[in-house]
Structure 1
């Protein structure tokens, strides 16, 4: 509910950045970028992590999570801000840039398994710890919704919101924070848990094979996000399209994002987004990629 997003905004306000918006025109079409790659930790995920920790019934004594990278960094940072010990489990394939930043917060980093699902299974089995899921939690979803709510408050004439989807936390939060506006959920081909869930009518296991898999590589969309995100449209883009969009963001606007952050722009460039003034959420910048 929008009231949950408003409550989240109040909780996390002392800790997060109110990221800017940027109006752009490309090939005669207008759009708004929500520059969430400028968020603390380099992605939107700190919003949900802080809301879940601050909104918990009791202050956790020990925090554990699993992540492909961005969520782990967000939880590690949120825990540091709140002076809580934290352990982050990641797949063995976690990008070096993300692993380095997680450890720099003071968190304990444990690499396990080939996929996020394998890392999460071990993390959830840790005894006597508060497990903070990456996306399948109402407080996480509400926290992520504050990003869309900020964008709408800044540019009320926005009529569509476009968001990259992995496990569905940001996508579902965007639906909650969109104030009834249409939401387009974009995934890379081969990394499309939400698209496959829609086809099946419920969350299902889905293959993970994309250059954006470290951020969008959930093998299954969360039950909590899926119930909300079903109201959105599902769109797929190729790795070639999203990498071209990433490069174009740098070349034309000097905006450096990771592959996942360019997914909404790729969909818009491909003509897959309706509306007169869409807002494209550029969701992350945790990469060691150096623009050419």
Structure 2
């Protein structure tokens, strides 16, 4: 388990390499949800998501031999972009493994940064290829099974807790492999012990909720359109944090996540991806459970979705 001291150390390490993203009240979302809402706009982070924090923290931790060997990452999109861009900034060679279902924009962005992109038939195959490349000598920058990465993702929560003027009661965080919620929960609960932390997943990418039900990480079948949340399993590291620090993990449909993306654009004036859009339907469920006196905090985790992607999903689910 990481603690707030680990997160504070990570904040010092990555300072100057990442953006301290805005934490602001959202009148539009407050009106939509009927409760005060503060948002942490991590979609304004370098590379368009929080993933830049963990990626650069891990790269900065490498010794000379590891730097010379080059790094490899597996990703549904955002982690790969972050590793590619941050590796280029630090003059490191990077290989990124993505499933063929990853957003085309993510592949193009990683390649444009200078990374070698390898495509695999699904996330299970992508993780298998990651293992092969690790055995060939590349250094793994894991998206969630690494305490260095978890602590760096926790800097999102550290900033959120320190920068908000609101007395938050509930913070909602999207969950893929679980590094973000693990780090955020460790930081926020240390700074504001009474705050409840809620995870949000989409149907067909339910690795954390299934782990919590099973008492530990289990493999899951992936079918969600939200590739950036589609981890085939969480890690023991992230599971332990969620089990100890998270109130519950809520699961919403892909259609609800896309509707949330449209609502974020319309009401919050931010262009987010469905991995962040899923927070809005979950927020309604949280309010149903805890009452309308709640003061919500939403981590808007990323904005790397193209207009054609979102419009295509909206058409698919009859939301236009």
What TM-score comes out, normalization by structure 2 length?
0.86
2:215 matched residue in structure 1: 201
Equivalent positions of 1:250-269 (< 5 A) are 250-269=265-284
Q: In structure 1, what is the Cα distance between the partners aligned to 2:168 and 2:124?
A: 36
Alignment RMSD: 1.6
1:177 matched residue in structure 2: 187
Q: CA deviation at 1:261?
A: 1.4
Q: 1:272 to 1:193 in 2, by over 3 A?
A: farther
User: What SS does the aligned partner of 2:36 have?
Assistant: strand
1:211 matched residue in structure 2: 225
Q: After alignment, is 86-95 or 21-30 more displaced? A: 21-30
Structure 1 unaligned regions, length at least 5? none
User: What SS does the aligned partner of 1:48 have?
Assistant: helix
Alignment: residue pair count: 290
Structure with higher helix content: 2
1:226 matched residue in structure 2: 239
2:87 matched residue in structure 1: 79
Which of these residues, 307, 314, 318, is aligned with residue 289 of structure 1?
307
Which of these residues, 233, 236, 240, is aligned with residue 255 of structure 2?
240
Contact 2:35 2:296 in 1 (8 A): no
Q: In structure 1, what is the Cα distance between the partners aligned to 2:289 and 2:24?
A: 18
User: What SS does the aligned partner of 2:82 have?
Assistant: helix
Q: CA deviation at 1:272?
A: 5.5
1:105-156 Cα distance to aligned partner (Å, 9 max, x none) = 111111122x222112112222121111111100010010000110111115
Structure 2 unaligned regions, length at least 5? 312-320
Contact 1:165 1:194 in 2 (8 A): yes
User: What SS does the aligned partner of 2:154 have?
Assistant: helix
Q: After alignment, is 47-56 or 5-14 more displaced? A: 47-56
Contact 2:24 2:164 in 1 (8 A): no
1:165 matched residue in structure 2: 175
Q: After alignment, is 194-203 or 222-231 more displaced? A: 222-231
Q: After alignment, is 134-143 or 222-231 more displaced? A: 222-231
Asked if 1:50 corresponds to 2:74, the answer is no
Q: In structure 2, what is the Cα distance between the partners aligned to 1:239 and 1:273?
A: 22
Q: CA deviation at 1:175?
A: 1.0
Q: In structure 2, what is the Cα distance between the partners aligned to 1:152 and 1:266?
A: 23
Equivalent positions of 1:107-122 (< 5 A) are 107-113=115-121, 115-122=122-129
Q: After alignment, is 8-17 or 50-59 more displaced? A: 50-59
